[in-house]
Amino acid sequence: MATIAAAGPVDQSITASASYERFAGVCAILTGVVGFVYSVAFVILKSVPLQSACLVLAGLLGTATLVAVYARLRETDASFALLALFLGIAGALGSAIHGGYDLANALHPPAVVNADLPSAIDPRGLLTFGVAGLSLWVVAWLIARGNAFPKGLGYLGYVTAALLIITYLARLIVLDATNLLVVGPALVTGFVASPVWYIWLGRTLWRGARA
């Protein structure tokens, strides 16, 4: 009887974990979709309110995804998984705050705006691209080392992380957002690499599949 009673909480814990992975999987897929919409709003529609709203949504959805990724990757290396989680949360919240700031200004423009000044929270995409890229690089490395996710997801993660970091550095150094050195990596990241990576991650979490 004691053995049966002790088994109950364990089963409930496993069920809760699977339930959260499905929730995080949906959030990851939505993050990929929202990221693609952000790229369309930035490159084609030139809509600042839509861009800003997408940054907020992607940041908030990304935090839920990162928790599920950490829960798996800590089996490979708990300390590095925690580092990736902290960097990822910082990047996601930085993106959300940056988007919220821009959205507030777009909906209610202040009397005087200096468009040349970078965001005080996320200067030139330091958190949205730079720190997020570092987090994804650690995640990709842990995926490649362990068996928590498909290896291919880790390799694509390396590519996406590199593109994010390059986008930040190009935006910081070149400054001109229309320069090909800035636009090129941003287009590949926003239209292809990042959406594919998040949607693949979301499908993996939803299915509960491990490598």
Is 96 a residue whose pLDDT tops 70?
A: yes
Is 116 a residue whose pLDDT tops 70?
A: no
Residues 6+ apart with CB under 8 A from 83: 138
Give the 3-state secondary structure of residue 185: helix
Q: How far apart are CA 153 and CA 199, in angstroms?
A: 10
Residue 176's pLDDT is what? 75
Label residue 171 by pLDDT band (50, 70, 90). confident
Q: How far apart are CA 137 and CA 22, in angstroms?
A: 24
Amino acid identity, position 143:
I
Six-digit token string for 174: 């070149």
Q: What is the mean pLDDT of residues 170-189?
A: 85
Residue 8's pLDDT is what? 44
Give the 3-state secondary structure of residue 155: helix
pTM score of the predicted model: 0.88
Q: Are 168 and 126 in contact (CB under 8 A)?
A: yes
pLDDT (tens digit per residue) in 129-169: 999 999 999 999 999 999 999 999 999 999 999 999 999 99
Which of 94, 69, 77, 70 lies closest to 164, judged by CA?
94
Diameter of the chain by CA atoms? Answer: 73
| Mean pLDDT computed over every residue of the chain | 88
